[in-house]
Amino acid sequence: MTMLVLGEEDVRATLDMAGCIEAMEAVLAALARGDVTMPLRTIFRVPDESVLGLGLMPAHRGGAEPVIALKEVVVAPGNSARGLDPHQGAVLLHDGTTGQLVAALNASPITEIRTAAVSAVATKLLARLGARHVAILGSGVQGRSHAVAMREVLPEAELRVWSRSPAHAEALALEAHAVVCTTVAEAVAGADVVCTCTAAAEPILSLADLAPGAHVNAVGSSGPWARELDADLVAAASLFVDRRESTVNESGDYLGAVAERGIGPEHILAELGEILVGAHPGRRRDEELTVFKSLGLAAEDLAAAVLCVARARERGVGVEVAF
């Protein structure tokens, strides 16, 4: 048998933002229907403070062409200063019937693009109609990817960028045709949509910063140790998530509000997939403050990888190797 190997540039050549957004909508709806299954991710801590650990994220899609996927990813926060993606690893695709390993893909661009694509889905579902002002907090891998994703779903929007690194903010603003802001408050003042894409350990965005009716995509905090949103914001918001199980176990933004404001699992109104299948209406009022807490799911990696492999084989991209 052979296995298709797709490197970083191969993945980028086959996974465009518009196509990924459609794939994320489909897989999140499938997850809500029970057609895709996955456990909570496993994180192996290593005795090296330079990395947070190795994450293992398996998922299964049934149906006529069953697939089993595993993303293995090492999170190394110091990579940002090295000019590298903090997420390094691979997505492995197995035939769901025979178990044969059919493809291995570079996980960095998959994580980068699918994460922002899910925020785009959340923005389509939860932002007010006519949203025109978008603030992006953070100028790293996810800041850049979210600028692309927000342009895809809100093509006429004004983008504002804030970063702890003014030079990086300037570079992203030039690339994304955005406005540079020197403070978080300046960036989010009157914003209809806010994307938090930072490596902050403590909250950088507060309830008082936001205009009524804003929508927040909270992306950067992906573990219990990190927070971007203060407890008042989370407690006051209509909270939507990618997966309830992930949120109550892994989200520092949610767990901080549990500890400081006494919210519980009932504060989570719905998963995005439940909105997509019509089980929840999503936003109900123009003045409603909505938050989508993103943690990233193995099901999303599976869907992105399947799309890449299908396109790669159509276009002759990648390398087939004996395995």
From CA 181, how far away is CA 232, in angstroms rounded?
24
Overall average pLDDT of the 29-58 stretch:
92
Residue 28 lies in a domain: yes
Both 158 and 46 in a single domain?
A: no
From CA 179, how far away is CA 173, in angstroms rounded?
6
Residue 118 lies in a domain: no
Residue 120 lies in a domain: no
Q: What is the pLDDT of residue 28?
A: 98
Both 89 and 204 in a single domain?
A: no
**CB count in 10 Å sphere of residue 31:** 27
Confidence of residue 75 (pLDDT cuts 50, 70, 90): confident
Both 218 and 286 in a single domain?
A: yes
Q: What is the pLDDT of residues 130-168, one digit of tens each?
A: 999 999 999 999 999 999 999 999 999 999 999 999 999
Q: What is the pLDDT of residue 80?
A: 77
Both 248 and 140 in a single domain?
A: yes
Q: What is the pLDDT of residue 78?
A: 81
Q: What is the pLDDT of residue 233?
A: 98
Q: Which of 273, 271, 228 is nearest to 248 (CA)?
A: 271
Both 303 and 288 in a single domain?
A: no
Higher pLDDT, 75 or 73: 73
Residue 117 lies in a domain: no
Q: What is the pLDDT of residue 53?
A: 84
Higher pLDDT, 52 or 30: 30
Into how many domains does the chain fold?
2
Both 138 and 34 in a single domain?
A: no
Both 133 and 174 in a single domain?
A: yes
Q: What is the pLDDT of residues 243-284, one digit of tens each?
A: 999 999 999 999 999 999 999 999 999 999 999 999 999 999
Q: What is the pLDDT of residue 292?
A: 98
CATH number at residue 188: 3.40.50.720
From CA 286, how far away is CA 38, in angstroms rounded?
34
CATH number at residue 69: 3.30.1780.10
**CB count in 10 Å sphere of residue 225:** 11
Both 161 and 252 in a single domain?
A: yes
DSSP string, 58-74: EEEE-SSS-EEEEEEEE
Mean pLDDT score across all residues of the chain: 96
Residue 165 lies in a domain: yes
Both 280 and 305 in a single domain?
A: no
230 DSSP assignment: -
Q: Which helix (H) or strand (E) holds 55?
A: strand 53-61
Residue 119 lies in a domain: no
Overall average pLDDT of the 170-195 stretch:
97
**Residues spanned by the domain of 105:** 2-110+299-322
Q: What is the pLDDT of residue 16?
A: 98
Q: Strand 101-106 to strand 2-6: parallel, antiparallel, or no bridges (unpaired)?
A: parallel
Residue 276 lies in a domain: yes
Q: Is the pLDDT of residue 235 over 90?
A: yes
Q: What is the pLDDT of residue 85?
A: 80
Quick one: tokens of 120? 């785009």
Overall average pLDDT of the 34-48 stretch:
92
* Residues of the chain above pLDDT 90, percent: 91
Residue 287 lies in a domain: yes
Both 140 and 183 in a single domain?
A: yes
Q: What is the pLDDT of residue 57?
A: 98
Both 145 and 292 in a single domain?
A: yes
Q: Is the pLDDT of residue 45 over 90?
A: no
From CA 291, how far away is CA 142, in angstroms rounded?
17
Q: What is the pLDDT of residues 219-232, one digit of tens each?
A: 998 889 899 999 99
96 DSSP assignment: T
Residue 128, amino acid: R
Higher pLDDT, 45 or 100: 100
Please give the C-alpha separations between residue 284 and each of 21, 28, 144, 281, in angstroms, as whole numbers: 23, 21, 30, 7
Both 105 and 196 in a single domain?
A: no
